Structure 1
């Protein structure tokens, strides 16, 4: 007979596309099912449709399907039990790779420990409280929440964020000027489009930062000259001398990765430049909730909400996997950002937004941040104490806030420390990794993300770090 194709959708089975080939219906069906199991399209334990349902979907006699099932059970491909239906047998049938696809080669294991900056302790995500908030949010969700959604994001979350950011970060945040995005990178992508639309050609950046952010700007067609940097932060007084710059990207509360807050005079200078030139400040407030030995440094946005684009996320306070961020925009930018984003909210789950709104308004977010602040402070104190005992010549800076510290090293030793860490099974990055290619070379240092390891790995990571600092001089230039 000629080939026939069918897709079956039964109440008691799985959707499956099958091809019946050959001269006989029964043998064609058996071959198709064997092939589906052999290639892994039907995994062990999958319940198949009843013989009546499959026969109706394929347009063949029920007895034909029943006979095919019975023979495949006898061969061991399927199992059949009263009340449990017909299922794919739990057998060790190997899956054959598709033609032309090479098998993956086994890879060497990664580092045993990680002190890379930029991640919170993922093991501390508040699962139970988040689940409670999700249940309450789902119960109360209006029917329209399951539609495509407002491109600004759910009004419940924008309202909760407006209250929280004003209270905790000193941000002037009207819900109508907040746009929800999937994280800082998404927000920066949107701003890249908007800036190009405003005929901006250059965005100044800090001498130290993340190349992934710089690359997004250059991919948008923007040049990224670096601002000089010293112990007081970026030298914003020099913005005026950078002709053609229409915006500046900054981390003023806690410079990433060098860890210093922007000096008050330089905060004022940045705002003065923006007012006088018509430029914009893109403020990355990536870890503003976490401070330890100083008064909170409020968001720069509070000094001039019409000249600062405030970008925040739940990535450090909760987890980056939530993919939830927010932009607080000057009034004249809201329309342009929404046009860049598109007509519907296609990037952030409405239910996740509603859950975060409930998490904030219920007080669970504040409780979680306070608890994590204590946890990370203990980590920081343990890091400082271990270094004082085992590597007393190492100067530690950038520790009054945030989730990472900067360890200053003797000149010319940064590379050897990174090599020594690799031999200790420790993932670690040097400050030079974050330096702009056009920036003046700075001091040798490593950036230690002390929030990253789970509790079970913290002691081992700290020990590996200290051994790396003490054993760097034993690593040869060749790494042998």
Structure 2
């Protein structure tokens, strides 16, 4: 019994000695801080030692007298540090029991995880949705930023109008009227964090009005269903034909709200026919319904002028959304929503409670960028680059996958490639592609795919890839397919 207690006391003394050494090493730089800030420096260093895990939970710290002597500082500084960190729950102490690192503190992870949607280990990524981020006009944007921050009044840095800065709403209204043919009243335009937030805002307002289901295109963007679900709404898939959304299916569904990508349907690439656009608007008027028009890449048309926005034909039944995600960069999180007048106040109230508005400085920079003509120049630059990459994609497909049927090439940032039957089955094709480091998105990911005389249909994005990279990727993909 005596031997056991003696061994325990020796072990405890050793632990304390190790703690003294560890604490001395961790706190020595703080102890050398200037006298006026030494107490705060000691507290900060000790707190960080616990948070980082260098002092693990259950570690007994030396007495305030011993640690003060070790560091060459006053005992009062150590006592104050222990008391402060005990109050913050980093340490625990008891009369006669010493001071210990609290077991309730978890060590912080090294660094921070990056959860951005990127494919680790991918050599070439053909998935659609991303522009070429290297085309972002850094110099022009930086120059505009400097100009804006020098002239922006102090008051502009307060909480903004939740609709957006007036100068940006005016600039966007003029831009959208000119380029997309919308009816754009700046008082009804909301600046949003991209189309994603515009969709969610609209979903909340529809839910508040008693609606529970929204129609979506099939095939279509999978993101729409997830965004509406976050607002408590279900979605019903509605089939397409060669002219656009099937009106008979829309009428039979009973929904009173529907999402369309009519200028350049995602993912098929078709543009709604004039007759189908007219019938869609008739449905909205007859049912007092609303159409959400997702104009995600309407500026990018290569064979003729872009198809005009549906909203321009009936602004009281169409909520128009767009963003700079494809023209500038998705990381800017800047977009817009033009809604029917009957919904505007509800949308503004929801936007206010959601985030109090978008950052004022970013809005002011975009406003200047648009007014000075830099945005139009950026669109022209992107159109030239993306047309070249589209041509590189179609040429490489004919070289490495002969017999492939390509559609949707007249506009946008992606194409549909239907590979001949000999390249199937799809599951094996995709598995071989993944093994070769090639990221692909099959058309089947976007909804119902009608049977045809081809076995594999892919949605191939090309905007973010240089022409040489497109050729390299398709060459690697062909090599990965046994014998092809």
The TM-score, its normalising length taken from structure 2, stands at: 0.75
- RMSD, aligned α-carbons: 3.2
Gaps of 5+ in 2: 1-28, 53-68, 75-104
- The equivalent residue for 1:367 is 377
**Post-superposition shift, 1:249?**
0.6
**Match runs of 1:210-225 below 5 Å:** 210-225=221-236
- How far apart, CA to CA, are the structure 1 residues paired with 2:469 and 2:199? 36
**Post-superposition shift, 1:216?**
2.1
- The equivalent residue for 1:339 is 349
1:371-399 Cα shifts (integer Å, max 9, x gaps): 11000000011111112222221111111
- How far apart, CA to CA, are the structure 1 residues paired with 2:287 and 2:218? 22
Cα pair distance change 1:384/1:177, threshold 3 Å: same
Corresponding residue SS for 2:234:
coil
**Post-superposition shift, 1:143?**
2.6
- The equivalent residue for 1:86 is none
- How far apart, CA to CA, are the structure 1 residues paired with 2:457 and 2:354? 45
Cα pair distance change 1:358/1:37, threshold 3 Å: same
**Post-superposition shift, 1:227?**
1.2
The TM-score, its normalising length taken from structure 1, stands at: 0.75
| CA contact 2:219–2:239 (8 Å) conserved in 1 | no
- The equivalent residue for 2:387 is 377
Q: Where is the helix percentage greater, Structure 1 or Structure 2?
A: 2
- How far apart, CA to CA, are the structure 2 residues paired with 1:449 and 1:441? 23
* Structure (1 or 2) with the larger CA radius of gyration: 2
Cα pair distance change 1:210/1:326, threshold 3 Å: same
One of 326, 334, 353 as aligned partner of 1:324:
334
Cα pair distance change 1:30/1:318, threshold 3 Å: closer
Corresponding residue SS for 1:225:
strand
| CA contact 1:417–1:469 (8 Å) conserved in 2 | no
- The equivalent residue for 1:277 is 287
**Match runs of 1:379-398 below 5 Å:** 379-398=389-408
| CA contact 1:148–1:344 (8 Å) conserved in 2 | no
| CA contact 1:314–1:320 (8 Å) conserved in 2 | yes
Count of equivalent residues: 397
| CA contact 2:393–2:470 (8 Å) conserved in 1 | no
**Match runs of 1:19-418 below 5 Å:** 32=43, 35=46, 99=106, 109-243=120-254, 245-342=255-352, 346-411=356-421, 412-418=424-430
- The equivalent residue for 1:452 is 464
- The equivalent residue for 1:433 is 445
- The equivalent residue for 1:465 is 474
- How far apart, CA to CA, are the structure 2 residues paired with 1:318 and 1:106? 25
| CA contact 2:291–2:318 (8 Å) conserved in 1 | yes
| CA contact 1:120–1:319 (8 Å) conserved in 2 | yes
1:79-127 Cα shifts (integer Å, max 9, x gaps): xxxxxxxxxxxxxxxxxxx746677999995212211100100111100
- How far apart, CA to CA, are the structure 2 residues paired with 1:102 and 1:28? 26
Gaps of 5+ in 1: 1-17, 42-63, 70-97, 476-480
